[in-house]
Amino acid sequence: MAYITGSVKGTQDTLPAESFKIQYIESAMRETAENFGYREMRTPVFEHTELFQRGVGETTDVVQKEMYTFEDKGGRSVTLRPEGTAGAVRAFLEHGLFNEALPEKIYYLTSCYRYEKPQAGRLREFHQFGIECFGAGTPAADAEVISLAHEIFNYLGIKNLSLEINSIGCPECRKEYHRALKEYFEGYKEELCQTCNSRLERNPMRILDCKSPVCSKIAEGAPVILDYLCEDCRAHFEGVKKLLDAMEIEYSVNSRIVRGLDYYTRTVFEFVSSEIGAQGTVCGGGRYDGLIEEMGGSPLPACGFALGLERLLLLMEKQQSEFPEPKKCDLYIASMGENALCRAAALAKELRSEGLCVQFDTVGRSLKAQMKYADKIGALYTVALGDDEIESGNITLKNMNSKSRHEMSLSDFADNFQSIIIKDAMSDFESLGLDDIDLQSILGGAE
């Protein structure tokens, strides 16, 4: 068959059979963020282009090469968000949230768009979970932000992720460092890649972050920012490390981690995996005390991180992480004839309102084909309704796993069904030799 078109390069579908995994990841993120006092913020998928030019930075790869920018029918230049922070800062300022009790702690779960070369862990449409802590300038905020990401990985049972931290100082102590860096890299001008040559003038710190093997080799011998930190920045970094130690969060200091923009300050960090290839950075963040002012607000310290959902899922699949089973069909009501179908629909409505997953035939299949379908979708119980059952008022409930049957009356079926689920589950547990039973987990969504 010829379809109209395939998906756009660099985009990906999440199919129904897989979506429970990403839903689980998202719920772990929401729950963890909310335990830390963060609340969700949702912003539009597109913004004025200049917001990202200022908010992400003119000299970054994102702004220079990766943005999906277009003119709308009203002649405005708009851009699909390449990241979440700029929009969050705009909304924070536009709605005067700086007047509320600070810090304002927000999280987001959104799609992002970057025109990049698609490969494993690198897409053109991808998803980020991110947090922003606006209005907190002490090392405790940095450490709390880091510990939130750490807690999410913990919750999801991720192994072998290393936390790498660094401090890139403030614009003051960076001046001297930039001078030293420029002097060092000038000596390798001929060998540096073209992009790094252009970084030399405006943004020499970004050279430390270049992925070309030649540039990264040269960068190994470059001066280290930590040797140039001013007293305040040094104390801040020590404070962050002390708090991470207190929380027993392991880290290593990596002076190669940078965010080469003036409004990024002090702490920067990444959570890195060596198990998913070149795109190993799952989460990146840091402090950006100059950003809110850069975007037109009064100076206010801030920090946060962004975590890529696709990379995280890739890692979890690689590690064969466990995902809770998606909800199954609790009951399939097979029916023959119009009366039985009406009864099935009414019964389904009643049980669904109690939180159970119930399905009945909407295709017009034969009874046999309905049973086959129930088996295929993994229904836990089935019941067949026909004229005979309606007339006699008696039905047979079948447990599809144990194949056991329960004869019962149709009129009080809805009342008895849940207790049968519990009884069956208990006898399953007993046969497994388990006696400490959590009824809530047996019932799943049902109350």
Give contact residues for ligand ATP (rule: CB under 6 A): 83, 114, 116, 121-123, 126, 128, 279, 281-284, 306, 308, 310-311
The Cα-based distances of 229 to 180, 237, 274, 306, 315 in angstroms read: 13, 9, 30, 25, 35
Q: Residue number with the shortest CB distance to ligand ATP? A: 308
The Cα-based distances of 97 to 37, 87, 110 in angstroms read: 16, 14, 21
Question: What backbone phi and psi angles, to 5 degrees, belong to 348?
Answer: -60, -45
Question: What backbone phi and psi angles, to 5 degrees, belong to 10?
Answer: 85, 5
Nearer to ligand ATP, 95 or 159 (CB): 159
- Minimum Å gap between C-beta 434 and ligand ATP is 39
3-class state of residue 110 by DSSP: strand
Nearer to ligand ATP, 211 or 368 (CB): 211
- Minimum Å gap between C-beta 115 and ligand ATP is 9
* Four-point Cα dihedral 218, 223, 225, 227, nearest 10: 150
Q: How far apart are CA 44 and CA 354, in angstroms?
A: 36
Nearer to ligand ATP, 128 or 265 (CB): 128
Nearer to ligand ATP, 212 or 339 (CB): 212
Nearer to ligand ATP, 279 or 339 (CB): 279
Pairing, β 265-272 against β 252-253: unpaired
Pairing, β 125-134 against β 302-308: antiparallel
Report CA Rg, the chain: 28
Please list, residue by residue across 33-49, b when 16 or more beta carbons sit within 10 angstroms of its beta carbon and e when fewer do: beeeebeebebeebbeb
- Minimum Å gap between C-beta 281 and ligand ATP is 4
Please list, residue by residue across 99-137, b when 16 or more beta carbons sit within 10 angstroms of its beta carbon and e when fewer do: eeeebbbbbbbbebbbbbeeeebbbbbbbbbbbbbbbbb
Nearer to ligand ATP, 104 or 209 (CB): 209
Nearer to ligand ATP, 116 or 350 (CB): 116
- Minimum Å gap between C-beta 230 and ligand ATP is 26
- Minimum Å gap between C-beta 210 and ligand ATP is 10
- Tokens in use for 342? 């009406």
- Minimum Å gap between C-beta 8 and ligand ATP is 14
Question: What backbone phi and psi angles, to 5 degrees, belong to 149?
Answer: -60, -45
The Cα-based distances of 85 to 19, 55, 134 in angstroms read: 26, 8, 11
Nearer to ligand ATP, 268 or 334 (CB): 268
- Minimum Å gap between C-beta 66 and ligand ATP is 8
The tokens 């930039």 sit on which residue?
178
- Minimum Å gap between C-beta 27 and ligand ATP is 19
- Minimum Å gap between C-beta 91 and ligand ATP is 19
Nearer to ligand ATP, 158 or 421 (CB): 158
- Minimum Å gap between C-beta 305 and ligand ATP is 8
- Minimum Å gap between C-beta 284 and ligand ATP is 4
Nearer to ligand ATP, 47 or 310 (CB): 310
Question: What burial class does residue 363 get, using C-beta atoms within 10 Å of its C-beta: 0-12 exposed, 13-18 middle, 19+ buried?
Answer: exposed
Nearer to ligand ATP, 291 or 357 (CB): 291
- Tokens in use for 33? 């963020």
Question: What burial class does residue 356 get, using C-beta atoms within 10 Å of its C-beta: 0-12 exposed, 13-18 middle, 19+ buried?
Answer: buried
- Tokens in use for 220? 């190994």
Question: What backbone phi and psi angles, to 5 degrees, belong to 241?
Answer: -65, -40
